[in-house]
Amino acid sequence: MKRFLFSTAFVCVMFLTASLLFNSPAETNPSSYKGVFSGYLSSEPSNLDPARGVDVNEASIQAKIFDGLVRYDEKMKLVGNLADSWTVAADGKEFVFRLKQNVFFHNGQVMTASDVVYSLNRILDPTVGSPRTWVLEKVEGAAECLRGEASTVSGITALDDYTVSIKLIAPFAPFMSLLSMPACYILPSGNAHEIADRSFFEKPAGTGPFKITDRVRDSFVKLTANKNYHGQKPHLASMDIRIIPENMKAEMEFESGNLDMLQLYPANYERFKADPDFSSRITDVPSLNVFYVGFNNQVAPFDDARVRRALNMLVDREKIIKAVYQGRAIPANGSIPPGISGYNKDQNGLEYNPEEAKRLLKEAGYSISKPLTFDLYQRSAQSAFEITRLLQGEFKKHGVVINLKPMEWSALKDAVSKGEAPAFYMSWFGDYPDGENFLFPLFHSSNWGAGGNRARFKNDDIDHMIEESVKIQDNARRAEAYDRINRKVAEHAPWIYLWHASESYLTSSKVNNMDFTPMFFCDNALTLTVND
């Protein structure tokens, strides 16, 4: 027995010793700036390389530590960031940026045109393997670089230390919007070696308003105010951004006073809204998104526009929005959400109309005795079931049978991209605030599958209209063109257009002036203050 007790104690002591040997770094931060904001992300921002990032959580950290040439401010207005000013050639094919001087990276290096050229070149460097090559694919020489035929992109050049020119192969009016994306954030070319072996991205140095001073993966990221920031300086001393994957856990942490912000979901929204202690601190933010049920337009029964239109008319959007979102969404009449160019609130002829739907279904050969039956692929998550089960119930009343196929996210994306899913419940969140982002990837035939056009929609006229619209330099005229395309696509009803949902946040009583922007990378916490 003694020996047994001894061995047990020995094992435990070994573990404790081993665990002490592998201790994690401790926090350090002396700062004269005021207040610490405690926020959280739902997943680890494992990759902070702007050229490789596609994740929202990663981008929200990147946005605070890096800068691009231009950015969208809190009011969604395009403003200069590292660029002081810029000119666009009359033919819309050349952009010349005049850079700010005396801008420093967090590691003390000076930012110059060569950093801009280096960072943009990286996106198109095949050895980097960036998933965002499409951001710069219209730049002169991009294709050659991607194919490995050129080592640098001929269309991106430094005219002098503080002037950069970018030439496009054809006019592309939304280009400035694309340049605001996290992919185009500027890195210090002096660290090219560490950037290439990716060790740089453990605690990357950008020019942004905050710098990473501590980080434990899967636990937290500590951001400290950059006192040398070139723009309006942040009010905060620092931000503790924790990684909390469970909504319920985040809720507990918020209520315990350990978080200053909580994202609300339909499941907990009503509880907080009904509580007078919290209700005044809830902010609903219209987000640039569209929720939809996509059809594979190439396979029966969804190759028949009558069926697609009829199913649109069976959805009482207002009713579902009220039931699930407590009214915090706007029925979609197309793919473009309110707040960006091309949105139009006019009806599209696909509104709730069960009688017309029944007529169309009958015409297509379906009835109560011969019901339309199909599989609806969806994510295996409570938030998806809340919608799909409602749709299933509503459709059943009208003789349409939906079999739900819940799947894990990676498997769902794979099945949908390969065209294996006849119908699928999904959403699209904007990458940049321009109507083109809700038309070209989603409905142009060159983007079938993983490119974004998961409905495999193909229409030559619409392809042509999209291609022409991006050449229009005048914003108002381009918005009109987007609107025309948006309505024309809706005539074909490639999806069931559902809604544009708002996101809701609850803040602690210590927080003031928090900017909630419709785009995840527009908020760089410059105005935010926290009272101790």
Partner 1 sequence: MLEFTIRRLSATIPVLIGILLIAFIVLYMIPGDPAQTIAGPRADAATLARISEEMGLNQPLYQRFSSYLSRIYHGNLGDSAVSGKPVLESVIEKLPYTLKLAAIAMTFSIVLGILAGIISAITQGRWLDRVCTVFSVTGISIPVFLSGLVFLYVFAVKFRWFPTSGFRADNTLMPFILPAFTLGIRSAAFLARIVRSSMIEVLNQDFIRTARAKGLSPARILFKHGLVNALIPVITVIGLDLSSYLNGSVIVETIFDLPGIGRFAMDAILQRDYPVIQGIVLLGALVFILVNLVVDLLYAWINPKIRDEMLGKTAR
376 is written with which tokens?
């609806």
Give yes or no for a contact between 427 and 496, defined as CB atoms under 8 angstroms apart: no
Q: Which of 192, 252, 285, 401 binds partner 1 (CB under 8 A)?
A: 252
CB of 8 to partner 1, least distance (A): 6
Exposed, middle or buried by CB within 10 Å (0-12, 13-18, 19+), for 87? exposed
Rounded least distance, CB 438 to partner 1, Å: 12
Adjacent-strand bridge partners of 285:
503
Q: Rule CB under 8 A: is residue 271 a binding residue for partner 1?
A: no
Positive or negative: CA dihedral 56, 58, 62, 65: positive
Taking the complex as a whole, the smallest distance from the CB of residue 487 to partner 1 amounts, in Å, to 23
Q: Which stretch binds partner 1 (CB under 8 A): 1-9, 167-175, 300-308, 364-372?
A: 1-9
- Told to check if 154 binds partner 1 by CB under 8 A, we report no
Q: Which is nearer to partner 1, 38 or 81 (CB)?
A: 38
CA distance 444 to 429: 17
What is the torsional sign of CA 488, 493, 494, 498? positive
By CB under 8 A, which span of 5-13, 164-172, 303-311, 499-507 interacts with partner 1?
Answer: 5-13
User: Which of 13-21, 291-299, 498-506, 513-521 is the region at the interface with partner 1 (rule: CB under 8 A)?
Assistant: 13-21
Least Å distance between CB 434 and partner 1?
14
Give residues 178-207 in contact with partner 1 (rule: CB under 8 A). 198, 201-202
Q: Does 503 bind partner 1 (CB under 8 A)?
A: no
Phi, psi of 11 (to 5 degrees): -60, -45
Which of 3, 193 has the CB closer to partner 1? 3
Residues 391 and 285: their CA atoms lie apart, in Å, by 25
Q: Which of residues 131-150 bind partner 1 (CB under 8 A)?
A: 131-134, 146
The yes or no reply on residue 28 touching partner 1 (CB under 8 A) is: no
Closest approach of partner 1 to the CB of residue 449, in Å: 8
Cβ proximity to partner 1: between 26 and 476 the closer is 26
**Applying CB under 8 A, does 285 fall inside the site for partner 1?**
no
Residue of 39, 174, 231, 452 interacting with partner 1 (CB under 8 A)? 452
Residue 507 in 3-state DSSP? strand
How far is 69 from 94, CA to CA, in rounded Å? 15
**Closest approach of Cβ 25 to partner 1, in Å?**
8
Helix boundaries (H) for 72-182: 113-124, 142-146, 175-179
**Is residue 403 within 8 Å of 373, Cβ to Cβ?**
yes
Q: How far apart are CA 54 and CA 62, in angstroms?
A: 11
DSSP output for 369-428: SS-EEEEEEEESSHHHHHHHHHHHHHHHHTTEEEEEEEE-HHHHHHHHHTT--SEEEEEE
Map the footprint of partner 1 across residues 50-109, applying CB under 8 A. 52, 54-55
Which residues does 405 contact at the CB level (< 8 Å), separation at least 6? 375, 376, 377, 378, 421
CA distance 186 to 100: 13
The three-state secondary structure class of 214 is strand
Among 32, 102, 151, 256, binds partner 1 (CB under 8 A): 256
Of these, 105, 210, 220, 425, which contacts partner 1 (CB under 8 A)? Answer: 220
Q: Which of 451, 473, 510, 515 binds partner 1 (CB under 8 A)?
A: 451
**Inter-residue contact 410 to 454 (CB < 8 Å):** no
Minimum distance, C-beta of residue 345 to partner 1, in the bound complex (Å): 26
Q: Can you tell me which of 65, 145, 243, 501 binds partner 1, judged by CB under 8 A?
A: 243
| Residue 52 Cα distances to 59, 120, 133, 379, 507, angstroms | 10, 12, 10, 25, 31
Output 81 or 289, the one with its CB closest to partner 1: 289
CB nearer partner 1, residue 208 or residue 430: 430
> Whole-number minimum distance, CB 151 to partner 1, in Å?
17
**Of 25 and 30, which has the nearer Cβ to partner 1?**
25
Q: Is 22 in the site for partner 1 (CB under 8 A)?
A: yes
Under rule CB under 8 A, residue 509 binds partner 1: no
Please name which of 501, 497, 482 lies closest in space to residue 444, comparing C-alpha atoms: 482
370 near partner 1, judged by CB under 8 A: no
Ranges within 372-431 binding partner 1 (CB under 8 A) = 407-411, 413-415, 417, 428-429, 431
